[in-house]
Amino acid sequence: MKPTIYAENLSRRYGSTVALDSIDLNVPSGRIVGLIGPNGAGKTTALKAILGLTRFDGKLEVLGLDPSKRRDDLMEDVCFIADVAVLPRWARVWQIIELTEKLHPRFSREQCMKYLAKTKIPQNKKVRALSKGMIVQLHLALVMSIDAKLLVLDEPTLGLDILFRKQFYSNLLNEYFDQERTILITTHQVEEVEHILTDLMFIKDGKLVVNASMDDIYDRYTELMVRPDEADEARALGPIHERVLFGRHIFLYEDVDRSRLEPIGELHKPSVADLFVALMGDKEELAEQVRTMEGAA
């Protein structure tokens, strides 16, 4: 079976800036992939290339099609939501539903109405008159009513309250996701998605720093929490990152024998956010922070 997304040497330059630097990707179906990176790391460029919205160098196939040439065919099986509300502001809610129904062969009006019934969105209002949260709700309802093979979410829950965000991700997982589908998410709110991800990618300066399944990640990285008097012993084992929290020192190790860590302190699964800081942050600056924290303690 063909991979959902396949890229080889995927690159994109804007003048002298390199937005994507020879990225290789191979995402099979049935995955939920988180693409995480700081602002300007190339996330949006990567998504745009996948969606056929920008040119690129190298090889890229999405569901076996070249997105830069076959965007219209590709969109029968791919759905996406850009970071902020992009629904046409002049259109009324029912007009947008009608347009999507007539233009998208895989759209289910029934399903869409079911989602909308849970919201307070009036059908006769123009998008212009809806609140920001409602526009996102409408867009999500539309997208989740399309039977697509790949769903691309670029900051999908920006500007939504926590209740709706929780509900959205649980809907996504329980009602939408299955083995045939692939979901690609970028977000800054890493904590909200980390428990639903199957794969994780960190992108920095146009390069993939991490590209692994969550199981591999938890295999590879271990977090150790120790009391200050055991810090030196922990440090001797070569952690890749250190921080201090409530007087405890927390170390992050890569590929280290767990049996050597266990006697020193408590072992934890690292959170995606901590991994992100450890792997993507400025090392010098972090070392400086640790020194000041120790000085204060």
Partner 1 sequence: MIKDTLTRLQVLLRREIWESPIAFKWTPVIIAGFILLFTVLALIIGMKVDNRMVFASDSIRMFAELDPEAKRLIVSGGLFSISAVFTQVMFIVLVFYLSGSLYDDRRDRSILFWKSLPVSDTLTVASKIVTACVIAPLLYMAGVALIQLLLLGIGTVLALIADVNPLTELWLAARLPRQWTLLVYAALVQGLWLLPIYAWLLFCSSWAPRLPILIAVIVPVLIGTFQHFWSLFSSFSLPEVNLLWIVLQRIGAGVTPTSVEWETISRDGNDSFRPSEETLMSFGSVTDHLFSVDMLVGLVIGLVFLVGAVWFRRRATDA
Residues within the interface to partner 1 (CB under 8 A): 48, 51-55, 71-76, 79-80, 82, 84, 86-92, 95, 99-100, 102-105, 139
Shortest CB 104 distance to partner 1, Å: 6
* CA pair distance 221, 191, nearest whole angstrom: 17
Considering the complex, state which of residue 76 and residue 230 has its C-beta at the smaller distance from partner 1. 76
- Which of 182, 131, 183, 125 has the alpha carbon at shortest distance from 156? 183
* CA pair distance 82, 88, nearest whole angstrom: 13
Cα within 13 Å of Cα(245), Cβ side = 9
Considering the complex, state which of residue 103 and residue 163 has its C-beta at the smaller distance from partner 1. 103
Shortest CB 63 distance to partner 1, Å: 13
Shortest CB 67 distance to partner 1, Å: 11
Considering the complex, state which of residue 61 and residue 101 has its C-beta at the smaller distance from partner 1. 101
Shortest CB 137 distance to partner 1, Å: 15
DSSP state of 126: B
* CA pair distance 189, 208, nearest whole angstrom: 19
Shortest CB 12 distance to partner 1, Å: 13
Pairing of strands 182-186, 5-14: unpaired
What's phi and psi for 134, nearest 5 deg? -65, -40
- Residue 70 CB-density burial (10 A; 0-12 exposed, 13-18 middle, 19+ buried): middle
Shortest CB 251 distance to partner 1, Å: 43
* CA pair distance 177, 186, nearest whole angstrom: 17
Considering the complex, state which of residue 48 and residue 241 has its C-beta at the smaller distance from partner 1. 48
